[in-house]
Structures are given as C-alpha cells and as structure tokens.
Amino acid sequence: EVQLVQSGAEVKKPGESLKISCKGSGYSFTSYWIGWVRQMPGKGLEWMGIIDPSDSETRYSPPFQGQVTISADKSINTAYLQWSTLRASDTAMYYCARLYSKYGHPYYMDVWGRGTTVTVSS
Amino acid sequence: DIPMTQSPATLSLSPGERATLSCRASQSVSSNLAWYQQKSGQAPRLLIYGASTRATGIPARFSGSRSGTEFNLTISSLQSEDFAVYSCQQYNTWPHTFGQGTKLETK
C-alpha cells in the first residue's frame, strides 16, 4: 500500500525551531516529488513547495520562500519541512503529498499524508 | 502566480440532487487541473485530474469538464458522503495554486 506517514502534532513557542517529517512507503520514493500544503484553521489549501527526493531540487511558492526549508533524505524515504523561527501565524495543519510524476515532471497530488498539526503559542 | 477562483463559496443541496461546482483560472492552465475532496477532519483526496479523468476508486457520479479557463466538477446525484469541501488546483505553472474551496452542505 502506498502511504505517507507524517510525524505527530507539535506545540511550540514563538521563536523556536521545528522540523516535521513525512515518510513514504509502498513505492519508489525517488520516483515522485513530495509537496507540502498548509491549511490554516478554517481556511483553504495553500501550496507551499515541493522537492524531488532523487536530487533534492526544490521549488517554493513565493509567500513561503525564505520562511521554511523543504528537504529530503532518500536513504530513509523521508521528506521534511522545517522552520528556524516559528511565529504564531505558522499555526496550521501541514500536509505532505506525493505528486504524480511523469518523465521527472511533477503534476497533481495523488497520495496525501494525514497531516501534522503545528500550534505556536506563548 | 495563477489565481484560481471557485464559486460558489457554499452550495446547499439535498441528497439525490445534482451539484455543479465551478473553478476559473486567471489565464490558461491547459487541462492541468485537479479537484480534491476534503471531509471534515480528514486530509484531501484526489478526485479528478487532467480536468476530466477520475482518480482510482472515484465513483462515476463525479465528473469534470473544461471550457477554456473554466472548469466544472459535477456530482450527478448527491450521496450523504459527498457533503464536504471541494478544492481545485492548477498544476500547469509554478506555483501550483489552489482555489479557495467550495463547501457543499446539506440543505
């Protein structure tokens, strides 16, 4: 079974750092891009960025460029989303998703993780 | 960025009725358009890709269509499990933008 397993809920204080994970199984991890999507409370989906685990090429949406870092460790089939300095406005649900890919080009998100809740509060 | 505009924001219908949800791109995205369903407390699920191709396991009552930069998701006869939030996404151009979602609720 193809699945993405995300790390558990996090509660952090403003200014702290955080790294959440997304582990793929049941498929060739390096054959598909992985993306991260933010969903703030009561709001819609926001495409943050994606990574090609085979070579760690990344692409970010402008609002998230410089605010987060997406990385991957192909040896353990895991992608990451990290913050160096959290803000209260980072409070949200974060989903990882596999992107259907053809000839190395990423398309739609065909498999989703269950999400990681991040709460940032003093 | 390519803004994606969904309408209506909320659609109130009864089981058995037909639902039509719309999504408009600000410029051409070809047929690189996906629809996702998100039930309360759950992760999104891929319904449609390529504007009109149903994903694996998606019932035939769900269909997608395209006319230029206008896209529709149609549910032919609503079942109780279809009441959820539906989001469109273009994956033609970086970044792959989502619409703001349409909430399909029970009338």
Q: What is the pLDDT of residues A78-102, one digit of tens each?
A: 999 999 999 999 999 999 999 998 8
Tokens of A60: 């970010």
Residue A105 has pLDDT above 90, yes or no: no
pLDDT of residue B1: 93
Show the low-confidence residues of chain B (pLDDT under 70).
Answer: none
Q: What is the pLDDT of residues A15-54, one digit of tens each?
A: 999 999 999 999 999 999 999 999 999 999 999 999 999 9
Residues 6+ apart with CB under 8 A from A105: none
Considering only alpha carbons, which residue of chain B is nearest residue A64? B95
Distance between A89 CA and the closest CA of chain B, angstroms: 19
Task: Using alpha carbons, select from B80, B107, B91, B101 the residue that is nearest to residue B5.
Answer: B101
pLDDT of residue A43: 97
pLDDT of residue B84: 98
Asked if A113's CB is within 8 angstroms of B91's CB, the reply is: no
pLDDT of residue A48: 97
Mean pLDDT value across residues A60-87: 98
Residue A116 has pLDDT above 90, yes or no: yes
Considering only alpha carbons, which residue of chain B is nearest residue A65? B95
Contact list, A113 vs chain B (CB under 8 Å):
43
Question: Which DSSP letter does residue B82 get?
Answer: G
State the greatest distance between any 2 C-alpha atoms of chain A, in Å, as a whole number: 46
Considering only alpha carbons, which residue of chain A is nearest residue B42? A114
What are B62's strand-pairing partners? Answer: B75
Q: For tokens 């039930």, what's the residue?
A: B39
- For chain A, the distance separating the N- and C-terminal CA atoms, rounded to the nearest angstrom, is 40
Pairing of β B10-13 and β B102-106: parallel
pLDDT of residue A101: 87
Q: Which of residues 57-76 of A touch B (CB under 8 A)?
A: 59-62
- With contact defined as beta carbons under 8 Å apart, do A22 and A34 qualify? yes
Considering only alpha carbons, which residue of chain A is nearest residue B53? A108
Task: Using alpha carbons, select from B22, B20, B36 the residue that is nearest to residue B70.
Answer: B22
Q: State how far the Cα of A101 lies from the Cα of A35, in Å rounded to an integer.
A: 12
Asked if A45's CB is within 8 angstroms of B89's CB, the reply is: yes
pLDDT of residue A102: 84
| Chain B residues within 8 angstroms (CB to CB) of chain A | 1, 32, 34, 36, 38, 42-46, 49, 55, 87, 89, 91, 94-101
Query: DSSP assignment of A13-76, as one string?
Result: -TT--EEEEEEEESS-GGGSEEEEEEE-TT--EEEEEEEETTTTEEEE-GGGBTTBEEEEEGGG
Q: State how far the Cα of A65 lies from the Cα of A40, in Å rounded to an integer.
A: 18
**Cα–chain center distance at A50:** 8
- With contact defined as beta carbons under 8 Å apart, do B22 and B70 qualify? yes
